[in-house]
Amino acid sequence: MLDALILEFDRALRTVAGVHRTERASPAAGVPEGTLDAVARAEAAALMRVNHVGEVCAQALYQGQALTAREPGNRRALAQAALEEQDHLVWSAARIEELGGRTSLLNPLWYGGALVLGAAAGALGDRWSLAFLAETEHQVEEHLSGHLERLPAEDRRTRAVVGAMRDDEARHRESAIALGAAELPGPVKQVMRAMAKVMTTVAFRV
Ligand SMILES: [Fe+2]
Ligand SMILES: [Fe+2]
Q: Which of 150, 173, 165, 191 is nearest to 54 (CA)?
A: 165
Shortest-distance ligand to the CA of residue 172 = 2
Cβ atoms of residues 111 and 85 within 8 Å: no
pLDDT, position 53? 94
Q: What is the chain's pLDDT, residue by residue, as a tens digit (206 residues)? A: 677 667 777 777 777 777 677 789 999 999 999 999 999 999 999 999 999 999 999 988 888 887 787 788 888 888 888 888 999 999 999 999 999 999 999 999 999 988 888 888 888 888 998 999 999 999 999 999 999 999 999 999 999 999 999 999 999 999 999 989 999 999 999 999 999 999 999 989 88
Shortest-distance ligand to the CA of residue 51 = 1
Q: How far apart are the CA of 38 and the centre of ligand 2, in A? A: 30
pLDDT, position 138? 95
pLDDT, position 3? 75
Cβ atoms of residues 167 and 149 within 8 Å: no
pLDDT, position 32? 93
DSSP per residue over 21-57, as a string? --SS--TTTTPPPP---HHHHHHHHHHHHHHHHHHHH
Entry pTM:
0.89
Q: How far apart are the CA of 51 and the centre of ligand 2, in A? A: 11
Q: How far apart are the CA of 94 and the centre of ligand 2, in A? A: 18
CA distance 55 to 140: 10
List residues, by chain if needed, whose CB lies under 5 Å from ion ligand 2: 137, 169, 172
Q: Which of 113, 102, 82, 98 is nearest to 20 (CA)?
A: 82
Shortest-distance ligand to the CA of residue 85 = 1
Q: How far apart are the CA of 132 and the centre of ligand 1, in A? A: 15
pLDDT, position 143? 95
Q: How far apart are the CA of 133 and the centre of ligand 2, in A? A: 8
Q: How far apart are the CA of 125 and the centre of ligand 1, in A? A: 23
